[in-house]
């Protein structure tokens, strides 16, 4: 599915002031960015606008400051990283609206780039307040949304601004829609979807959207234990999604569903807990499942390797603990060995493939967690719906 919205290519940017909504919601520890993929993913759009002779004003949220000016959530480290990546000074403006922002906009020249401070320092951002959106829009002449990861939210900087300015998509949004859309609507077969994560209920709408399209739907991660319970098997102290048991019973009648045949269990949820491999129908009552077993991991890797389109969303186990990371790593390796189109659907699976150093060996790693899921579910994303139609 191609993006049916105008992009930065479809609008004259020369000499214009362009407000770009990016997703700079990066993980940080003690003020240091630990993963900058969301920043590097925004560079093609920023560099294109600068090359076209625009003055660029960047805005984003970071974390959840809860409408307070909490400097723990300042975009200062992002401005510093952008300065390095772009090879030009990217000053951080002290606020996203008001006198400081207006002065920065007034003095902006073609080829200049500035970053506004965290939009979520203002409660009006998440309320999609019209006056606040208008104040943001007043800084520029064109609006570009390149924040796929927040496009499922109708906030002032993602949706509200589009009502005041000519609004188009950036290259990252275009890429996300093209990859995720084509995977579901026009896949090269065999098309395999691999779903992990904690609760079945969180993935029901994705399962319903994907099941008619896929040739095989693999279920792993903590979700699998609810399926085992639905079969009447003992799952010990493993995670259980009680309210989805009936749904799982019905789903298992579909021949496309593939479940793990062995499981790695441990007596406690801890990185140093002793792992044991058991058959999935023989989980001890005092143990909890924390990963798919080695036989299942090898089988899932082979299925991914031999597919022509693979969509993966959700880890196979507690990959943050090394002793329980093998299942997730084997699936990631299967994607890297696949000669077809391989898509990692954001969130924890994106974090996992980054951890294993394999992100550059798949076709696309989505930058959106919730946005990727909602798009795959077939929902309209407000931040994209508000843009000009192609």
DSSP per-residue letters across 148-165: GGGTTS--TTTTGGGGTS
The per-residue pLDDT for range 57-98, each reduced to its tens digit, is: 999 999 999 999 999 999 999 999 999 999 999 999 999 999
CA distance linking residue 181 with residue 137, whole number of Å? 30
Residues 108 and 202 grouped into a single domain: no
CA distance linking residue 217 with residue 107, whole number of Å? 54
Question: Is 109 in the active site?
Answer: no
Residues 219 and 161 grouped into a single domain: no
Calculate the dihedral angle through the C-alpha atoms of 307, 312, 317, 320, rounding to the nearest 10 degrees.
120
CA distance linking residue 348 with residue 368, whole number of Å? 10
Helix (H, G, I), strand (E, B) or coil at 372: helix
Average pLDDT of span 241-266: 96
CA distance linking residue 64 with residue 77, whole number of Å? 16
Residues 16 and 146 grouped into a single domain: yes
Its sign, for the CA torsion 134, 139, 140, 143, is: negative
Say if residue 373's pLDDT is above 90.
Answer: no
Say if residue 117's pLDDT is above 70.
Answer: yes
Q: For the chain, how many residues are written?
A: 390
383 in a structural domain: no
Task: Please report the pLDDT score of residue 377 as a whole number.
Answer: 85
Residues 89 and 203 grouped into a single domain: no
Annotated catalytic residue: which of 199, 201, 249, 256?
199
Q: Please, are residues 190 and 168 in contact by the beta-carbon 8 Å criterion? A: no
Say if residue 369's pLDDT is above 90.
Answer: no
Task: Please report the pLDDT score of residue 281 as a whole number.
Answer: 97
Residues 271 and 323 grouped into a single domain: yes
Which one of 174, 195, 214 terminates a domain?
174
Say if residue 346's pLDDT is above 80.
Answer: no
CA distance linking residue 329 with residue 311, whole number of Å? 15
Residues 238 and 295 grouped into a single domain: yes
The per-residue pLDDT for range 40-60, each reduced to its tens digit, is: 999 999 999 999 999 999 999
Q: Please, are residues 132 and 156 in contact by the beta-carbon 8 Å criterion? A: yes
Say if residue 1's pLDDT is above 60.
Answer: no
Question: Is 347 in the active site?
Answer: yes
Say if residue 164's pLDDT is above 80.
Answer: yes
For the chain, first and last CA: distance in Å?
Answer: 13
Annotated catalytic residue: which of 327, 347, 368, 369?
347
Which one of 174, 209, 235 terminates a domain?
174
Task: Please report the pLDDT score of residue 185 as a whole number.
Answer: 86
CA distance linking residue 334 with residue 65, whole number of Å? 39
Question: Is 170 in the active site?
Answer: no
Query: What is the pLDDT of the chain when averaged over all its residues?
Result: 95
Which one of 131, 146, 174 terminates a domain?
174
Task: Report the DSSP beta bridge partners of residue 199.
Answer: none
Number of structural domains (the chain) is: 2
Average pLDDT of span 370-384: 89
CA distance linking residue 144 with residue 152, whole number of Å? 16
Residues 238 and 362 grouped into a single domain: yes
142 in a structural domain: yes
Task: Please report the pLDDT score of residue 2 as a whole number.
Answer: 61
Say if residue 186's pLDDT is above 90.
Answer: no
Name the DSSP class of 274: P
Closest CA to 218 of 197, 240, 239: 197
The per-residue pLDDT for range 263-310, each reduced to its tens digit, is: 999 999 999 999 999 999 999 999 999 999 999 999 999 999 999 999
With 0-12 CB in 10 A as exposed, 13-18 as middle and 19+ as buried, what is 43?
A: middle
Q: Before 177, cis peptide (omega within 30)?
A: no
Task: Please report the pLDDT score of residue 199 as a whole number.
Answer: 87
Average pLDDT of span 204-229: 95
Q: Which of 68-77, 176-185, 318-327 has the lowest mean pLDDT?
A: 176-185
Identify the CATH number of the domain in which residue 60 sits. 3.40.50.1260
Annotated catalytic residue: which of 38, 120, 229, 305?
38
Question: Is 199 in the active site?
Answer: yes
Say if residue 134's pLDDT is above 90.
Answer: yes
Residues 213 and 118 grouped into a single domain: no
Residues 138 and 194 grouped into a single domain: no
| 160 confidence band (pLDDT: 50, 70, 90) | very high
Pairing of strands 32-33, 55-59: unpaired
Helix (H, G, I), strand (E, B) or coil at 312: strand
Instruction: Please give the order of strands across the beta sheet that includes 113-116.
Output: 92-93, 113-116, 55-59, 17-21, 142-145, 167-169
In degrees rounded to 5, what are phi and psi of residue 265? -115, 165
Q: Domain containing 170: what range?
A: 8-174
Say if residue 166's pLDDT is above 70.
Answer: yes
| 35 confidence band (pLDDT: 50, 70, 90) | confident
In degrees rounded to 5, what are phi and psi of residue 352? -65, -50
C-alpha triplet 159, 379, 358: angle, nearest 5° = 90
């Amino acid at each position: 599915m191609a993006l049916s919205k105008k992009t930065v290519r479809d609008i004259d940017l020369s000499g214009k002031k362009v407000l770009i909504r990016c997703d700079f919601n990066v993980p940080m520890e003690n003020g240091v960015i630990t993963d900058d993929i969301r920043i590097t993913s925004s560079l093609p759009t920023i560099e294109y606008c600068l090359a076209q002779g625009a003055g660029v004003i960047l805005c984003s949220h970071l974390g959840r400051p809860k409408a307070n000016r909490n400097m723990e959530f300042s975009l200062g480290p992002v401005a510093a990283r952008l300065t390095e990546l772009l090879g030009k000074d990217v000053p951080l403006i002290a606020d996203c609206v008001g006198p400081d922002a207006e002065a920065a906009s007034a003095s902006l020249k073609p080829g200049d780039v500035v970053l506004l401070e965290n939009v979520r320092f203002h409660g009006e951002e998440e309320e999609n307040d019209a006056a606040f959106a208008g104040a943001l829009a007043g800084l520029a002449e064109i609006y570009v949304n390149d924040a796929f990861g927040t496009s499922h939210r109708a906030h002032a900087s993602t949706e509200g601004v589009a009502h005041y300015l000519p609004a188009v998509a950036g290259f990252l949004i275009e890429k996300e829609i093209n990859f995720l859309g084509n995977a579901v609507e026009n896949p090269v077969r065999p098309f395999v979807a691999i779903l992990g994560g904690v609760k079945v209920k969180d993935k029901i709408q994705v399962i319903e959207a994907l099941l008619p399209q896929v040739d095989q739907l693999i279920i792993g991660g903590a979700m699998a234990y609810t399926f085992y319970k639905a079969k009447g098997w003992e799952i010990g102290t493993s995670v259980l999604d009680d309210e989805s048991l009936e749904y799982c019973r019905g789903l298992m009648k579909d021949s496309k569903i593939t479940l793990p045949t062995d499981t790695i269990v441990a007596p406690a949820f801890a990185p140093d807990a002793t792992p044991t491999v058991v058959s999935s129908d023989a989980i001890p009552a005092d143990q909890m499942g924390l990963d798919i077993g080695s036989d299942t991991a090898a089988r899932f890797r082979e299925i991914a390797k031999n597919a022509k389109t693979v969509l993966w969303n959700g880890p196979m186990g507690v990959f943050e603990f090394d002793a329980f990371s093998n299942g997730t790593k084997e699936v990631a390796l299967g994607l890297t060995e696949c000669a077809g189109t391989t898509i990692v659907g954001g969130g924890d699976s994106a974090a996992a493939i980054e951890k294993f150093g394999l992100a550059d060996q798949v076709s696309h790693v989505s930058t959106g967690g919730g946005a990727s899921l909602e798009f795959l579910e077939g929902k309209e994303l407000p931040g994209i719906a508000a843009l000009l139609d192609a």
